[in-house]
């Protein structure tokens, strides 16, 4: 293969980590429904990675472990952002009801 050969396996977790970090940091500007979908996506990625690690004997364990570490590291930050925005939305709804 030439210069455009297969992507080295090391780039996969790095790209995945960068994507999760960008998605988690951009959650502050999202609506709660979109934030919930991000959390759902993180959960699905954990399940999918576990499935692939178990079903494919040639799957490198270090790759699966690194993907799990990225997801489990990002999940608390994403959850905290989601809960804060739910709380803020609830407070805004209570303030609007108090005005009427």
pLDDT in tens, 50-82: 888 888 888 888 888 888 888 888 888 888 888
Percent composition of the chain: helix, strand, coil (DSSP 3-state, to 5): 80, 0, 20
- Enumerate the domain spans of the chain: 30-94
Q: Distance (Å, rounded) from C-alpha 26 to C-alpha 81?
A: 10
Average pLDDT over residues 83-88: 88
The structure's pTM equals 0.68
Question: Alpha-carbon distance 61 to 68, whole Å?
Answer: 11
In the prediction, which pLDDT does 5 show?
A: 54
**Mean pLDDT, rounded, for 21-29:** 85
Q: Can you give the pLDDT at residue 6?
A: 62
């Amino acid at each position: 293969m030439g210069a455009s050969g297969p992507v080295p396996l090391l780039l996969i977790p790095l790209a995945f980590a960068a994507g999760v970090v960008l998605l988690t940091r951009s959650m502050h500007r999202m609506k709660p429904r979109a934030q919930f979908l991000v959390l759902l996506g993180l959960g699905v990625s954990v399940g999918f990675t576990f499935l692939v690690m178990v079903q494919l004997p040639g799957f490198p364990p270090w790759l699966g472990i690194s993907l799990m570490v990225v997801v489990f590291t990002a999940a608390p930050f994403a959850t905290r952002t989601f809960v804060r925005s739910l709380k803020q939305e609830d407070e805004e709804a209570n303030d609007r009801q108090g005005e009427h």
